[in-house]
Structure formats: C-alpha cells, structure tokens
Structure 1
C-alpha cells in the first residue's frame, strides 16, 4: 500500500512535458519572448523623436517618457516574481502578454486623440506605465518558466537565451519601429506594439506549464539582502543600454547622421551573437569573471560613442557596448541563483532584474538634464564611468561570495 502511494499518478501535462525535451520547449519560449518583446523595441527609438519633434518637449521629458516604463517595471517585479513562484511562470507570462497589448492600445489613443500636446504626453506616459507592468510579468514569467523547464544545470543557458531574445528583439524592433513611424506616424507603431504580444501568446500557448514548486518561500527583502552587490553591478551595466535607448536616435539626428535606428540594431545584434557563441561561459568558468571582463568591454564601447567623430565610429561604439553588455546578466544571474532555493527562483530573478530596471528608469531623466546642458555625447561619458564602476562592483560581489562560502 505504501509503495503504491509513493508514486504519484502522472497527469496529461506531465506526460506532455516528458515527451518534449527541454531544448525545444526553451526554444519555443525564446521565440515567443522575442516576438512579444517587440512591444518594447518598436517604440523605443521612436518615442524620443515623437516627444521632442511631434509634441515639442525637451530632453528631460524625453528621458522621463523612456525611463518611466522601467521605473514601473521595478515597482512590479516583486509582484511578477511572486506570481511566477506561486502560480507558475506560464500564468505570469500570459498576464504580461495581455497587459502589454493594452499598453499598445493606450499608445494608439495618444497618437489619435485630438487634444493638446500636454494631454497626449500624459496619455503616452500612462501607456509606458502599463507597459512596465506588462513587461515585468512577461519577462519574469518567461524567465522563470524557462529556468524551470531547463533545470538548474542549464539555468545559465536559460537566462542567456532569454536575454538573447530580449536584445535580439530590440535589434529588430528599432529599425522596424522607425520604418513604421515614417510610414504612418506613431499610430502605426502603436498598432504594431499591440499586435506582437498577442502573437507571442499564440506561439507560447502549446508549451507545457511547469508546476510551481512547493516549499518555503524566501521573502523579497531577504532575497535582495543576498544578491544586492551583484545587483548593483548589474545596474551599473544597465546604464550603457539606457543611454543608447534614450538618446542614440536624437544623438544621430543632431549630428545629421542618417542611420537613426541602426545604433540599437548594432547593439542588439552584437548582444544576441555573444549569447549564441559564449552563453555557456558563465556556467563553465564562473559568472563574476565573465561579468568583470564584459563590463570592461562595455566601457570601451561607451567611450567610442562619447568621442565618436563620425557615424561609423558611433555605430562601432554601439556594437562594442552590445558585446560588453551581453553576458553580464546571465553571469551575475547564475551567481545569484546559487544563493536562493528553487522555490523562490521567480522572486530572485524578479528582484535581481529590478536592479537593472532602476538603472534604466533613472538614467533617462538624469542624462536628459546632462544632454540639455552639455550635449548628447555627455550621456555616453556617464555610461563609460558606470561600466568601469561595474567592473569594481563585480569584484566586490565575488569577494563577498568567496568569504561566505
């Protein structure tokens, strides 16, 4: 009797999961996230142009309109992580899909509403806030789902593939968003941003859910106390991407360079290829070593953007920045997961990613003020200093990990 009770009956979902190896499921989730995250990539290079040239606001407003989404994401990462831990990553991901589609609808209202520029800007900001809520659930849910599907030995690969999807999506989304903007204005971008998360939901729908693990949950505050040093290093890395996302299109426009959307494409392509070729390194040689070397490369890329005499050097700077940024999150993420039990992976990844979101949210407004007074190159000087500081912080995090082991 006891022997028969020791073996739980398999459900249909369990049979489906067993029949489908982890890699195909991870690839399906990666593809879904790639498509869904276009709702972030499409408007990213367009919003600065729309806010400054169509609505007539200054650089500070540009920084707010870009950064406010990431601040909203920070405030909802904890919720998204708890949702993934308690209800499963699939539930979190699909709630994110619906919320991101709603953000696109709000963008469309901002584009079509026949009101003053001030009201349009407020509606746009509301859309960015909705997108922040949706993005936190979409990314955290997909990441937790993919890690649970992959298992702990392949956690680094799952994180690497997730990031590859995100920044590959940014690489495609930037020129596509600019093309849509030129074809039909911000309304076309809004329609695209509404459609892509719904398509992502269709792609991911057939992937089996992984049941949430039962056991003791680590509170978010405790999680943050365990991972904060690596999180600060991650935040410092995020400044480089934030400067490109917020001001590369305006920087290129101010210099009369024609490939306005190509900086984000160079960043994203380099980012994705690094994940493909070297995504295994954090699991093999240790995350802290890879993170420190990566942020040093990022600093070089930001310096090239800061000092760029022409468009070619600026694009090279964006490319090198993408190379440097690529492996920082999986490197530090793998180290963070070592300190957190599996029952709290979603909370850990939500809290860890929040550090990066803080960088994205704060960088825009601060560098907007600098751009107004000192010109657009100054924002990339900030990125250079932040990346060098990240090298130091990753070393501090490694020293702490060694002392506590």
Structure 2
C-alpha cells in the first residue's frame, strides 16, 4: 500500500494555525471508503425509522394523548434538524466531517437513553411526554450533525468528482433505514416490548460509530468562506417550495399510516412502510440518471403526478391492499423529486456556493416535515386519518403549481 503525505495549515480549536498531515492512500477505492459511511448512515436512520414505527402508538395509547400531540412529537425532530442546519455546517467546516458525524452519533445514543426513560415513566404521562419531546429535539440535532458531517466527509475522502455517487448512496441508506426501521420496531415491540426497541437504538448508535471509527478525518480548509443561507434562499426558493410541498405526502405516511391501519383494523402496517421504502429505493437505483438525462423540471412534474396518484389511493382506499399500493406509488413518485429539483437548485448558483445551496434547499425539506405533522394531526382530529392523504395529494398539486409559476421567471430545463 503506497501513501502520499500532504502538509496543510488548519485552524485548531483556539483559532491558531497549525500544521496537519493528510494521509492519502493511492489504492483506497471508492467503496472501501464509502461503505463504512453508508453502514453508519443506515444505522443512524434505522434508529429514526424505529422511532417512527412505535412512537405514534405509544403517545396515543400509552400516554393517552391525541392526534395533534402525535403530530407534534413526529414533526419536532424535523424542526430541530432545520434549526441546526447552519450550526452543523459551520461545525463540519471548522472541525471536520468526522467530528460532526460522530458527535451526531453519540447524541443519537443519548436520545435512545431518553426514549427508554420515557417508557419507564409512562405511569406519569406528562413527564413521559416531556421526555419524548426532549428526545425528539435531540434526535433532530443528531440527524443534522450526522448527515451534514457524513456527506462532507464522504465527498472529501473520495473526491468531489464522485460527489453524486456519495449523495445517491447516502440517500438510499437513509430511506432504507427508515423503511426497515419502522416494521422492525413494530415486530420487536410485539415480541419483546417497547423498551427493547430503544435498547436497539442505543446499540445501533454504537455500531455506527464503530463502522467509521477507523476512517481518517479531513483537515478543515482555512480558506473556505461560508456563504450565509439567506443569500441563496431567494435563488432556490422555487425549487425549495416545490420540494417542501411534495414532501408532505412522505410526512403523512411516516406519521399516520400506522394509526390509519389501526383505525381501519387492517392489522400490521409494516408492509406499508416497506413498500414505500422499497419502491423509493428501487426508483433511485434504476432511474437516478433521469434528472440529468431528461431535465429536472420534466422529471419533477411527472414524479409529482405519480405521487398525487399514490396519495389519492391511500385517501380513498377501501382496503389494506389498496392502501399499500398507494404507499408504493407514493414511494415511486417521491423518490426522484429531491434530486430533480436539486439539479435545478445547484444550477442557479456558482460552483463554490453549491454546498450552501444544497443546505438551504434541504432546509425546505426539514421545514416541510416539521410543519406537516402538526397540520396533518389537526386534519385527522377534525375528520379522519384518510383525510390526511387528501391533504398530501393537494400539497403535491400546489407543488406543481409552484413550479409552473416560478418557471416563467427562469430558464429551467
């Protein structure tokens, strides 16, 4: 194994410039570097999926709280992720991707402990709900730190020319973790109780740290100047709003599909989560080149039309099978919206501002998930759980209208 050494100046914790050494191994392949990171991403998002599978039922049935409380509990994590995007980016730039991602992992471990404490204090619903809310905030901060660090770390290790592959595989690992985590937690709760679910959350956090512990950190670039979010939000607002409205359908499935199945007495909702995740992943694997090949605008519009079909199927589903088909179609439609609109967002800024543009673009996704849960909870309380998916379909229609209107002011392709 051959090695080359590059000496660079970096800022230490006090702000002084110190000499650091980056070891570059010439025969380190893409997959040798990226697989440990992808394993960690899968593990962390598995913890997120597992909480989505059991928290709605725990809050509603064990803590005797209503649909609005369920929506707040689910949405709070995304709001915490949104509000810490800027901090996570700054920490990653100044301390390195490894530092940021590992901090996020350890925070996920602490979150698992707090979830566990909430189950042990369920005899006091108010205290347990407070612990759950605190846990959701920490889980959101954990996600923000981890995913920002992991993406930056992975791209830095394999090179900017492979950034597309890094983002693609990170996205697959993220949604695979969510898709597998929800049914896994439902099964585990049935077999061993809800405490076992949160013990596994703690264990997964440790495994994610171990998977990446031997990868080298990258020295921070002292010449990198971070551009504030507000300077690029205006440029990518059209794509960001389109993403935000399209993400509501996903939020409705993750927050309320289990409660819909319970209210209809359709049995275990695991297949609904799995079908959404499988169709989402397979669409990305086989059609990820479509935004570049056919244009992000065209792909986004077609994807939104497909997602509307999926949401309406769930909203009017007369049976469990039709609802599962609706989840599958929603997964197909939602899969390419993020990269399709992301291609358009990146094209509107200079290359040196792409990171900031992607951060601002992702913030629209966080905001959508944070607000969709409580709004959908209100709708479910006023009407029923199927009405939530009519809301999801209407949101996708608004996304289409947003893209049609804002396209007139630009040269989207």
TM over 0.5: yes
Provide the C-alpha distance between the structure 2 equivalents of 1:159 and 1:292, rounded to a whole number of angstroms.
Answer: 22
Provide the C-alpha distance between the structure 1 equivalents of 2:67 and 2:329, rounded to a whole number of angstroms.
Answer: 25
Provide the C-alpha distance between the structure 2 equivalents of 1:88 and 1:129, rounded to a whole number of angstroms.
Answer: 23
Q: Which residue of 2 aligns with 1:216?
A: 225
Provide the C-alpha distance between the structure 2 equivalents of 1:329 and 1:305, rounded to a whole number of angstroms.
Answer: 22
Q: Contact conserved, 1:230 with 1:394, CA < 8 A, in 2?
A: yes
Matches within 5 A, 1:4-403: 9=7, 13-16=22-25, 18-113=26-121, 115-149=123-157, 151-213=159-221, 214-340=223-349, 345-402=354-411
Q: Which residue of 2 aligns with 1:4?
A: none
Deviation of residue 103 (structure 1)?
0.8
Q: Contact conserved, 2:305 with 2:333, CA < 8 A, in 1?
A: yes
My pick for the range that moved more, 18-27 or 75-84, is 18-27
> Per the alignment, do residues 271 and 228 of structure 1 end up closer, same or farther by CA in structure 2, a change over 3 Å counting?
same
Deviation per CA, 1:285-304: give whole Å up to 9, x if none.
Answer: 33232222212111111111
Deviation per CA, 1:44-99: give whole Å up to 9, x if none.
Answer: 02111001111111111111111111111111111112222333322221111111
My pick for the range that moved more, 281-290 or 128-137, is 281-290
More helix by share: 1
Deviation of residue 204 (structure 1)?
2.0
Deviation per CA, 1:146-199: give whole Å up to 9, x if none.
Answer: 344454544333322221111111111011110122123321121111221221
Q: Contact conserved, 1:156 with 1:283, CA < 8 A, in 2?
A: no
Q: Which residue of 1 aligns with 2:11?
A: none
> Per the alignment, do residues 282 and 360 of structure 1 end up closer, same or farther by CA in structure 2, a change over 3 Å counting?
same
Provide the C-alpha distance between the structure 1 equivalents of 2:252 and 2:219, rounded to a whole number of angstroms.
Answer: 39
Structure 1 gap segments, 5+ residues each? 1-6
Provide the C-alpha distance between the structure 2 equivalents of 1:102 and 1:8, rounded to a whole number of angstroms.
Answer: 37
Provide the C-alpha distance between the structure 1 equivalents of 2:216 and 2:342, rounded to a whole number of angstroms.
Answer: 24
Deviation per CA, 1:267-300: give whole Å up to 9, x if none.
Answer: 1111111111112222333323222221211111
Structure 2 gap segments, 5+ residues each? 9-19
> Per the alignment, do residues 218 and 210 of structure 1 end up closer, same or farther by CA in structure 2, a change over 3 Å counting?
same
Number of aligned residue pairs = 397
My pick for the range that moved more, 281-290 or 176-185, is 281-290
Q: TM-score if structure 1 supplies the norm length?
A: 0.91
Provide the C-alpha distance between the structure 2 equivalents of 1:88 and 1:398, rounded to a whole number of angstroms.
Answer: 37
Q: Contact conserved, 1:85 with 1:344, CA < 8 A, in 2?
A: no
> Per the alignment, do residues 398 and 140 of structure 1 end up closer, same or farther by CA in structure 2, a change over 3 Å counting?
farther
Provide the C-alpha distance between the structure 1 equivalents of 2:217 and 2:287, rounded to a whole number of angstroms.
Answer: 28
